[in-house]
């Protein structure tokens, strides 16, 4: 029986790269994003698999449950959940629009948590399943000038690693992808393309491939790129105040 992967934020960036990877391996797809027109365009490119599209803004309260209910109504069994949707903002916390930051928390944390909860119940019934949560190297230290974004990704990493232990002994795996700066539309949305951190951004297809391979092998955490791995490791051993200062410097303009 053909398996099904559900991917959020599926119309661009890492999400779209995941679409291609799963489709190439013959998975049926459930694609979730705000842009309904783009979702339909992607659907039309795949005729050899079943593609279900759900146009939904996961940043809206209640949307994750609506996605789950739609999947249930259609009788689709989700074998793999890819929580990819998310965004960031650059600037001092009290200078940025508070509603946009609250929306960021809703999308990066609440939607991811809800979708994991709903689909994990089904995976437990089947005693099978995989979850890929997209965090960031931002998860490993405080992030001045992107304070809320860094904090949301720290949540994703901590939450996901806790689930790994809760699910130990089962056939369900949870993998956390922690990329560094990646060439997607994230940079323009967050307004960080002109910063030092994006001077060596990795290609999105390479990052997605590394994440996909880690997911399929049941790996706990995958940090893409040697420089990013070194930075994440270094952040563990230095004082948090020092890590914050380094993050603030990297967030500065080139």
> Residue ranges per domain, the chain?
4-250
Assign 141 to helix, strand or coil: coil
pLDDT in tens, 174-184: 999 999 877 76
Sign of the CA dihedral with 157 first, then 124, 32, and 17 last:
positive
- More confident of the two residues 31 and 143: 31
- pTM greater than 0.85 (yes/no): yes
pLDDT in tens, 197-227: 555 677 999 999 999 999 999 999 999 966 5
pLDDT for position 218: 97
What's the longest Cα–Cα distance across the chain?
Answer: 53
Do 84 and 17 contact (CB within 8 A), yes or no? no
pLDDT for position 202: 78
pLDDT for position 166: 98
DSSP secondary structure, 34-70, as one string: S-HHHHHHHHHT--SS-EEEEE--TTSTTHHHHHHHH
Matching CATH number, 4-250, of 3.90.380.10, 3.40.50.720, 3.20.20.70, 3.40.30.10:
3.40.50.720
Cα angle 164, 4, 220; round to 5: 20
Which tokens in the block code for residue 83?
Answer: 């929580």
pLDDT for position 242: 60
Cα angle 187, 189, 190; round to 5: 65
pLDDT in tens, 128-139: 999 999 999 999
Which tokens in the block code for residue 63?
Answer: 């949307």
pLDDT in tens, 104-124: 999 999 999 999 999 999 999
Cα angle 211, 165, 69; round to 5: 70
Active-site pick, 149, 150, 212, 249:
149
Do 93 and 104 contact (CB within 8 A), yes or no? no
H/E stretch holding 77 reads: none
Which tokens in the block code for residue 243?
Answer: 């890590």
Section 191-199 average pLDDT: 54
- Mean residue pLDDT across the chain: 89
Q: Is 149 a catalytic residue?
A: yes
- More confident of the two residues 225 and 149: 149
pLDDT at 234 over 90: no
Section 27-54 average pLDDT: 97
pLDDT for position 190: 47
């Amino acid at each position: 029986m053909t398996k099904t992967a559900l991917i959020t934020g599926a119309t661009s960036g890492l999400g779209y790269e995941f679409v291609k990877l799963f489709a190439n391996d013959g998975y049926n797809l459930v694609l979730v994003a705000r842009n309904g027109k783009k979702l339909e365009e992607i659907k039309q490119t795949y005729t050899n698999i079943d593609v279900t599209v759900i146009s939904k803004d996961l940043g809206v309260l209640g949307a994750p449950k609506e996605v789950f209910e739609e999947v249930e109504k259609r009788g689709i069994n989700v074998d793999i959940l890819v929580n990819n949707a998310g965004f960031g903002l650059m600037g001092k916390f009290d200078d940025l629009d508070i509603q946009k930051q609250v929306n960021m928390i809703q999308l990066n944390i609440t939607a991811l948590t809800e979708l994991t909860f709903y689909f994990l119940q089904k995976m437990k019934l089947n005693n099978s399943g995989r979850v890929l949560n997209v965090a960031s190297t931002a998860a490993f230290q405080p992030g001045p000038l992107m304070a809320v974004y860094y904090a949301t990704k720290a949540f994703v990493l901590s939450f996901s690693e806790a689930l790994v232990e809760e699910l130990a002994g089962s056939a369900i795996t949870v993998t956390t992808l922690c990329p560094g700066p990646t060439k997607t539309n994230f940079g323009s949305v967050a307004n960080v393309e002109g910063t030092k951190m994006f001077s060596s951004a990795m290609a999105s297809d390479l990052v997605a491939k590394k994440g996909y391979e880690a997911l399929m092998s049941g790996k706990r955490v995958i940090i893409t790129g040697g420089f990013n791995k070194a930075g994440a490791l270094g952040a563990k051993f230095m004082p948090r105040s020092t890590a914050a200062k380094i993050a603030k410097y990297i967030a500065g303009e080139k």
